[in-house]
Chains A and B, each alone.
Chain A
């Protein structure tokens, strides 16, 4: 809400320290978003005196003028010298005083005046019209200033259009502050002073009886509690007087013409939106009366609003109907509270005005605006709620002003259809309860004074209890708590002494899951991964590009109103987001990327309201862990780096029976064949890891190789034990024997370890693979050598070498038998 200080001062006394004033508004709940100086934009526009006016030698429609601008143009002798200005307007003569934009001036519409040649004649400045100065719509001729205007004076000073405009944030609960009058009342309450609406208007001349000319009816009072209409006849449409143009401009609207400006002016002044119909476009019945009906729109009704857009309506929209029109249900002439129709719009030929001043229901207005994407100054006020008690008063004020600026007369009597006056609740106020909820000793008299200044009537019931009747313009004051808020904000939140709630028996703790989740993050970061966040949105292509298939009956969660075509649904996997981040880094010269993200993935099924949400942990690695250094080589990451991260994670989370099971290309098409595994704890599947298929990586712009993993967080936490059991530290030494076994290339290392463990029994304390090599010449095609370090130890005694050798040969026998391999002779 834009508030002109000059205008405001006509209603209420405003402190001279404007910075302190703005702070006080902030602290009482009316945020000052911005303080603007207007008139400053007219810097460089001065009063000029036209000394001569002659025909342009080369153009019939242009004039050559010399204009005295006083000290703004000095000749070589240092004395004022007139400017030569070429001018296209026809409405002036030599001797007129006009606004002159000097060269270098930038006008409100953004044009900058430069020294130029027009048809071969030099022009140094511009004689301006009202529109060029942003003072109205008049652009036929230049703005003629009074004869006594002082030559050389700044036009903004001379016209008094220098102003300060406060842009106020009015919260949705304060419909009353959507007007100058309401803001003045609020300021008066804050500063404990008086306020007034402004200039009283003279009674307009009266002619004819309104009830003989118009009838009004409301179909559903819940849509429109009150509809009043005034009839103003014989007006002359024309430009607004300067003061009117200036005020509507300050409030943020363009000046259109005197009648439209009055509707806007009264709306800004009082908060009552108005609509002016061209009375003669409405159909008269046999008695010469126009019939206005307020009702629901028809299903699929078409209507052209005054912005010349045809709109399709639904019965949820409230419309104003010309009830006498030929169509059976009448013809719609306006969308109630939102916008008028093109057909009944006030034009320059309009003579008679039907002025609507009504109260429409906030809900229908707001839905209509949203459904039609049509937001107006009027709808923003009805959405919050317009006071039905004052429709008639403010409508009459507008009618009187129309006559003042446009001539004509007002028809006697008001058409007032008022089926549903809003009931004003009577509230009880308990000061002890108020003090306890606020936690401050606010005296009764302070609270009473504040509420009275805000327009409430109070009656004391004794013992700090009061009966409070809020004013009609405060529909937000419905409950006792609403009064507390009013008292607190004006009394001052800053005066409340801060305290902390008592803390008996209250403990801030973490759940076991939260503790595990913390450990999970620490383990990943300790492994060298950097946490990131990516969008939870996805495109339909994301999973298709990866070849990921959702489980049977699981479908993506679609957005009804996505922002763009890349983010039309919620993600089902984190991998695409991370691959995009890999690409982003690679494209910005960062080849080494180690990222992880913990976040939600989503899917739904037919019949479900809310989708399934699952937390996932995903990671990507590419490039190398380290940069090549003075003392180390950079090593590119591969499958086993990702696996190592997960092994660390499993260790930290105490996940037992960890297994990595090969995934086929069919099971995980987004991973490179042969470098893909499923992570399990026992039989529980925790997720997958592997090298991303180069095709999948490329689909998201990432250069291969990229290793990645994605795990289900709930499964991880479920598999995680709270802690491991203690095992005694070995007392006796271990004997470690190495063994190289040549086996078929497809025998997994895990198999060798399993066989060795089972053969070695309790005395085989550890089996570790420490070397793998392939050499077709030495080992034979398709064969590999796997070297194992086997550590034998008893918890009870030192093993003899005979015992160890016996056991070891058994292990070797079993290994050879189970794998068809042979110990490699060294």
Chain B
């Protein structure tokens, strides 16, 4: 039998391993050395022909060579795999500035979003949300809110009336006892009829006024009404509540002021202004050079209103406020034309 130079074989295998430049080449080397017909395998297969006395030493030599080669093979394999993965990744690199593949999520309407934000502010101080009908009776929209019987806001010029199908005739020609609510305040009355104090509610909803749609008017818009009835309620608390609201919605740097006003259903009544966010109160075109933007009306619930719903005024007091969401939308986003809110223009809706 021809003698095999094991160290030479090992050296040859190791250098072949080192020379392999890919996993594929490496595999060829493995097969050539350790495969069924591999050079080292051949040596092991030929062991039987090796003289007995040499068998042990040669066996040991071959085993060492195999282990060495296998270890080197594993190391080289890992090395090549790593390199190949790197190469592959490099070839798969993308232009990260190309647009992503999305299923675009929809947007919430600006008015809904603002309504939700405002509701959350008041929910945080313990208010519940309630609702009422959009087609109301004159009683809830006006009478029970202490509006005088001949108040101009009841007129056909200002309020939408619908045909009363119950057969009742109206006092003023052409009017009716059924109307599209011109404010969310009737919800106040309905809640006070149904529930006993303490009452802390917020009533958002759609309201209607007979204005022709133009950049600053809509015949249909959104209000939020707030009502508190409890023991020991004061004007100071109304002020504190609305100042908290303004800070939350407009930001802590904005200030508020209360201007005495008149509403039939509150007394004392006030309008609330927030300082102009554009000029910071110095006066600019946005705020009509006053430094202030009117945002809501409020006041202490008029005792006459409590009278309509039989709430004991010696025990309970209350305050109420109402604000227009479209107005807040204009103030926060400077929407140039309110009609955009009702057009459904995707380019507008998708901005919010």
A residues touching B (Cβ–Cβ < 8 Å)?
26-29, 31, 171-174, 314, 362-363, 366-367, 370-371, 383, 436-440, 479, 481-482, 484-485, 488-489, 493-494, 496-503, 506-511, 514, 521, 524-537, 557-564, 567, 570, 577-578, 580-582, 584-585, 588, 590, 592-596, 599-600, 602, 604-611, 613, 625-626, 629-632
B294 to chain A, nearest CB (A): 9
**Can you show 26 pairs from A to B with CB atoms below 8 A apart?**
A27-B259, A436-B232, A439-B235, A439-B236, A481-B302, A482-B267, A501-B200, A509-B123, A531-B107, A531-B349, A532-B109, A533-B111, A536-B206, A536-B220, A557-B135, A561-B161, A562-B160, A577-B344, A581-B345, A582-B344, A584-B343, A588-B347, A590-B346, A593-B346, A608-B165, A609-B137
Please state if B106 and A524 are interface contacts (CB–CB under 8 Å). Answer: yes
Nearest A-chain residue to B152, judged by Cβ: A366
Closest to B240 in A: A498
Which of A528, A537, A605, A626 lies in contact with B165, CB distance below 8 A? Answer: A605
Contacts A531-B349, A561-B160, A610-B178 known; A501 to B342 CB distance under 8 Å?
A: no
A481 touches B123 (CB 8 A): no
* In the assembled complex, B136 has its CB within 8 A of some CB on chain A: yes
> How many chain B residues touch A (Cβ–Cβ < 8 Å)?
97
Closest 8 CB pairs of A and B: A581-B344, A439-B236, A439-B234, A29-B260, A171-B262, A506-B126, A489-B260, A498-B240
Asked whether B269 is an interface residue with its Cβ less than 8 Å from the other chain, the reply is yes
Nearest residue in B to A476 (C-beta to C-beta)?
A: B262
Q: Which A residues lie within 8 Å of B157 (CB)?
A: 370
Q: Which of A497, A508, A577 has the most CB of B within 10 A?
A: A508
Taking CB as reference atom, which chain B residue is nearest A438?
A: B235
Is B44 an interface residue, CB under 8 A from the partner?
no
Q: Is B162 an interface residue (CB 8 A)?
A: yes
A530 x B346 contact (CB < 8 A): yes
Q: Mark B65-103, 1 if CB is under 8 A from A, else 0.
A: 000000000000000000000000000000000110111
Which residues does chain B contribute within 8 Å of A602, judged by CB atoms? Answer: 134-135
User: Which B residues form the contact surface with A (CB < 8 A)?
Assistant: 98-99, 101-109, 111-112, 122-129, 133-137, 148-152, 155-157, 160-168, 171-178, 180, 198, 200, 206, 208, 210, 212, 219-220, 228, 230, 232-237, 239-241, 243-244, 257-262, 267-271, 300, 302-303, 317, 341-347, 349-350
- C-alpha gap A563/B259 in the complex (Å): 33
Q: Are the C-beta atoms of B241 and A500 separated by less than 8 Å? A: yes
B257 close to A27 (CB less than 8 A):
yes
State whether A535 and B342 are in contact (beta carbons under 8 Å apart), knowing that A173-B262, A370-B157, A561-B174 are contacts in the complex. Answer: yes
**Out of B106, B173, B347, which one reaches A594, CB within 8 Å?**
B106
Question: B174 — which chain A residues lie within 8 A by C-beta?
Answer: 560-561
A532 and B106 CA atoms in complex are apart in Å by 11
A567 cross-chain contacts in B, Cβ below 8 A: 219
Residues in chain A near residue B235, CB distance under 8 A: 437-440, 488, 493, 496
Closest residue on chain B to residue A599 by CB atoms: B206
Are B240 and A607 interface neighbours, CB within 8 A? Answer: no
- Tell me if B104 and A625 are in contact (CB < 8 A): yes
Report yes or no: B344 in contact with A525, Cβ–Cβ below 8 A: no
Partner of B345, one of A440, A499, A584, A613: A584
Question: Of B108, B198, B232, B267, which is within 8 A of A525 by CB?
Answer: B108
Q: A503-B126, A607-B167, A610-B178 are in contact. Are A437 and B300 (CB under 8 A)?
A: yes
Beta-carbon contact of A499 and B236 below 8 Å: yes
Interchain CA distance A363-B155 in the complex, whole Å: 12
Complex contact B228–A530 (CB within 8 A): no
* A559-B129 contact given A314-B173, A590-B345, A629-B99, CB 8 Å threshold: no
Q: Are A506 and B240 in contact (CB under 8 A)?
A: no
Known interface pairs A370-B156, A439-B235, A499-B236. Does A558 touch B162 (Cβ–Cβ under 8 Å)?
yes
Q: Which of A27, A479, A498, A525 contacts B243 (CB 8 A)?
A: A498
Give the chain A neighbours of B152 by CB distance below 8 A: 172, 366, 370, 383
Minimum Cβ distance to chain B for residue A486 (Å) = 9
In the bound complex, CA of A383 to CA of B152 (Å): 9
Q: A500-B125, A561-B160 are in contact. Are A629 and B267 (CB under 8 A)?
A: no
Q: Which residues of B contact A527 (CB under 8 A)?
A: 106
**A506-B135 in contact (CB<8A):** no
Evaluate contact between B103 and A625: CB separation under 8 angstroms: yes
Which listed residue (A27, A485, A502, A563) contacts B212, Cβ 8 A? A563
Beyond A508-B122, A560-B160, 11 extra complex contacts between A and B, CB < 8 Å: A174-B262, A370-B152, A437-B300, A488-B260, A493-B259, A499-B236, A506-B198, A508-B126, A535-B342, A594-B346, A609-B164
- Is the pair B162, A489 in contact by a Cβ cutoff of 8 Å? no
A578 to B343, CA, bound (A): 9
Q: Are B135 and A533 neighbours in the complex by a CB distance under 8 Å? A: no
B344 touches A532 (CB 8 A): yes
Residues in A whose Cβ lies below 8 Å from that of B175: 560
* Residue among B99, B102, B127, B258 facing the most chain A CB atoms (10 A cut-off): B258
Q: A362-B150, A533-B342, A594-B106 are in contact. Are A609 and B168 (CB under 8 A)?
A: yes
Q: A367 to B236, Cβ gap below 8 A?
A: no
- Residues in A with CB closer than 8 Å to B258 are 493-494
Smallest Cβ-Cβ distance to B241: which chain A residue: A500
Q: Which residues of B contact A173 (CB under 8 A)?
A: 262
Q: A626–B156 Cα gap in the complex (Å)?
A: 48
Q: Name the contact of A529 in the complex, choosing from B106, B168, B234, B300 (C-beta under 8 A).
A: B106
Give complex CA distance A371, B98 in Å.
67
Residues in B neighbouring A501, C-beta threshold 8 A: 200, 228, 230, 232-233, 237, 240-241
